[in-house]
Amino acid sequence: MANLVATDLETRMRLSAPSDLVELRKDILSRRDPTKLCVTICSGTGCHAYGSEEVYESFVSEIQKKGLQKKVGIRRTGCHGFCERGTVVVVFPEEICYLHVKPDDIPEIVATTLTERKVVERLLYEDQDGQKIVQEGDIPFYKHQSRIVFGNNRFIDPKNMEDYIALGGYSALAKALSEMTPELVLDEVKKANLRGRGGGGFPAGVKWETTRNAPGEIKYVIVNADEGDPGAYMDRSLLEGNPHSVLEGLIIGAYAIGSHEGFIYVRQEYPLAVENITIALEQARKYGLLGKNILGSGFDFDVRIHRGAGAFVSGESSALMTAIEGRVGEPRPKYIRTAVSGIWERPSNLNNVETWATVPLIINKGADWFTGIGTKGSKGTKIFSLVGKVNNTGLVEVPMGMPLRDIIYKIGGGIRQGKKFKAVQTGGPSGGVIPERLLDTPVDFDELSKMGSMMGSGGMIVMDDTTCMVDIARYFLNFLSDESCGKCVPCREGIHKMLKILNRICAGEGRKGDIELLEEIAVVVQTSALCALGTTAPNPVLSTIRYFRDEYEAHIHEKHCPAGVCKALISYYIQPDKCKGCMICLRNCPVGAISGGKREVHFIQQNKCTKCGNCFEVCPSKFAAVTKATAVQLAQAVGNRD
């Protein structure tokens, strides 16, 4: 009997025509009251780490305690983007936005906002002039963005497909399947000039067409969710927060290409993304949006999830496909493109998460709408992961062509602690740095390449003047050296040799000719490595040399690290006239390198000092006697004393 009911329910759920989807949406909306109070709690990865789960539970129990269950709805949503102010809570219908919400704040929110319908002032966003901002959309961080792809995250419980359908989800799929031929879908995407959001910026429509026209009955479509750049998490947040949008785009793409099997390659290290997309697939199958005869169109398509085993290089298309085949994820030569010969040598079309999620928008609103946003060569918006020494960190979506300065200052709120901007690194580990004087360049695929960096997947790391550019190049090369698969000589040995040179420069052992040698190796690696990891690996080195050559020269010739970062090139020094002999630094030195006594001027024995910086940190600011000095400054200081 129970079985019968289940089967019956499943048949009822199955959408067998576009009109069924319209009916379902009507039915969902009829059960929802837009004026009803609803607490939404951001449950993306950032807020999750801040304890959004406890916040959710506190809301549930507090609302129950006050007997408000009928009057107030609660929803856990995908990532809102303003991750550093988590946990983010938004109360609908007024869209009151509370930041940094902790479980202890819940009773007050329930009593004030949910009962008396008043605002809890202390949890609101406060701008530089002390002005409180109530609505999420008015916060400067959000105000300057245009969140066409990412924006729905905040309305949707990613585990509930009804939320997606309520917002018009799958209507693009219905439109494509019932009103458009595969050729028309393809033409629309080509006309929109949608370029791949995963790094290279290759036109998605052209790639689709190649796969479509490639010989062979069986073709594959793949979602690349192997986002591995340090600090970048936009694909993660999209897949976690709005999995159905990615899936809808994938099904539309499969229809245009003539593919009946898809793969989602997602990192095992993204458990929530794996969980949410798995649920999304199950729901889509239940509703007949995956499987045989989708929406009665006669088109069959299904998807499998492949969990990545944690290698950065697996994000490269041919390596990813090799991994799906069950082999070690290593790139292979691509003179015959993967669109023609990919997984099991069959035509395989790979796009990243954000690219797929953009497709339904193009189908629904048309290519003309899409090309109205952005620059000449790069259309639409791009999601960036804005991190580093900037006041507002998080995920931001802006139209292509927005100047870097606007992203960093208007959205990011400028540099932390009023420090000076030095550079911004875009494009992940194999991207490059961009200096202050180029900040007004509009951000798009082509402009970033011209500046010696790249779009990559959209990482954006802001650096202030306490960052050493040689050290930054060293950091990224170190990452790439760990992540190179080691198959080809230029990447494996080239990165290693460049890293060795950078290490010695940072250690104060740089030699004359090192900069030129770095450049010479870089060019060879760029032109001869097997895959994009190798050919782009020299970018951090070349771009730092291009814009900050003087820093390299200072390290090599003067043994001086201008930013005071490279340990071998700095010393800690106590200014005798400022030291009050308080014993604080002396007690905190882990190696006993500081001599002196109570009310006696302290002195650091340089041969014992490990440059941990403890003394610098603990010296009371009213004395500020301990200073960090580069070799040059120390020589001057010592000279003066003599």
Partner 1 sequence: MKGGKNMKPILLVEDEAVMRESIKDWLTDIGYEVETAEDGEQALKTFGEQEIGFVILDLRLPGKDGLEVLREAKAKHPQLKGVIITAYPSVETAVEAIKHGAVDYLPKPFDLNRLEEIIRETLGPVQIEIKPSREVSGEEVTLTIDGIEVKARQGMTVLQAAQSVGIDIPTLCYHEKLTPVGACRLCTVEIVKGQRSQLVTSCVYPVEAGLVVRTESEPVINVRKMLLAMMWSRAPGVQAIRDLCIRYGVDRNKFEVEPTYCILCGLCVRYCSEVKKKNFIGFVGRGTERQVMFLPGADFKECSKCGECYGICPTGLMPSNYGLAQLPIGTARECCVSA
Binding site for partner 1 (CB under 8 A): 261, 304, 306, 311, 313, 324-326, 328, 332-333, 335-336, 344, 481-490, 492-497, 520-521, 523-524, 527-530
* 332 vs 416, beta carbon nearer partner 1: 332
d(CA 238, CA 225): 10
Q: Which parts of 129-270 fold into alpha helices (H)? A: 140-143, 161-166, 171-179, 182-192, 204-213, 234-241, 243-257
Q: Which parts of 537-623 fold into alpha helices (H)? A: 539-557, 584-588, 614-618
What is the DSSP pairing of strand 132-133 with strand 381-388? unpaired
* 286 vs 497, beta carbon nearer partner 1: 497
* 178 vs 478, beta carbon nearer partner 1: 478
* 242 vs 348, beta carbon nearer partner 1: 348
Q: How far is the CB of 332 from partner 1 (least distance, A)?
A: 7
d(CA 508, CA 511): 9
* 333 vs 592, beta carbon nearer partner 1: 333
What is the DSSP pairing of strand 89-92 with strand 96-98? antiparallel
Three-state SS at 604: strand
Q: How far is the CB of 493 from partner 1 (least distance, A)?
A: 4
> Which one-letter DSSP state was computed for residue 86?
P
* 161 vs 518, beta carbon nearer partner 1: 518
Contact 109, 101 (CB under 8 A): yes
Q: How many other β-carbons are positioned within 10 Å of the β-carbon of residue 69?
A: 11
* 406 vs 446, beta carbon nearer partner 1: 446
Q: How far is the CB of 481 from partner 1 (least distance, A)?
A: 6
Q: How far is the CB of 324 from partner 1 (least distance, A)?
A: 7
Q: How far is the CB of 265 from partner 1 (least distance, A)?
A: 12
* 99 vs 480, beta carbon nearer partner 1: 480
Return the structure tokens found at 524: 């060879």
Three-state SS at 326: coil
Contact 224, 315 (CB under 8 A): yes
Q: How far is the CB of 82 from partner 1 (least distance, A)?
A: 36
* 178 vs 528, beta carbon nearer partner 1: 528
* 523 vs 591, beta carbon nearer partner 1: 523
Name every residue whose Cβ is closer than 8 Å to that of residue 148 and which is 6 or more positions away in sequence: 361, 373, 380, 381, 397
Q: How far is the CB of 257 from partner 1 (least distance, A)?
A: 17
Q: How far is the CB of 53 from partner 1 (least distance, A)?
A: 34
* 6 vs 336, beta carbon nearer partner 1: 336
Phi, psi (rounded to 5 degrees) for 481: -65, -35
* 49 vs 336, beta carbon nearer partner 1: 336
* 261 vs 464, beta carbon nearer partner 1: 261
* 118 vs 327, beta carbon nearer partner 1: 327
Bridge partners, residue 425, by sequence:
433, 461
Burial 218-255 (b: 16+ CB within 10 A, else e): ebbbbbbbbbbbeebbbbbbbbbbbbbbbbbbbbbbbb
CA torsion 357→360→362→363, rounded to 10°?
160
* 244 vs 492, beta carbon nearer partner 1: 492
Q: How far is the CB of 575 from partner 1 (least distance, A)?
A: 41
Q: How far is the CB of 291 from partner 1 (least distance, A)?
A: 12
Q: How far is the CB of 224 from partner 1 (least distance, A)?
A: 17
What is the DSSP pairing of strand 220-225 with strand 96-98? unpaired
d(CA 522, CA 495): 8
The residue whose two tokens read 């004030």 is: 112
- Helix axis angle for 353-365 and 243-257, nearest 10°, is 70
Q: How far is the CB of 304 from partner 1 (least distance, A)?
A: 7
H or E segment and range at residue 414: none
> Widest CA span of the chain, in angstroms?
97
Q: How far is the CB of 486 from partner 1 (least distance, A)?
A: 3
Q: How far is the CB of 323 from partner 1 (least distance, A)?
A: 11
Q: Which amino acid is at 638?
A: V
Q: How far is the CB of 310 from partner 1 (least distance, A)?
A: 11
- Helix axis angle for 171-179 and 18-30, nearest 10°, is 160
Contact 296, 14 (CB under 8 A): no
Strand boundaries in 474-617, DSSP class E: 570-574, 594-595, 603-604
Instruction: Give the Å distances, CA to CA, from 364 to 9, 167, 173, 258.
Output: 30, 13, 9, 20
Q: How far is the CB of 228 from partner 1 (least distance, A)?
A: 13
* 262 vs 412, beta carbon nearer partner 1: 262
Three-state SS at 148: coil
H or E segment and range at residue 32: none
The candidate with the shortest Cα–Cα distance to 308, out of 437, 483, 448, is 483
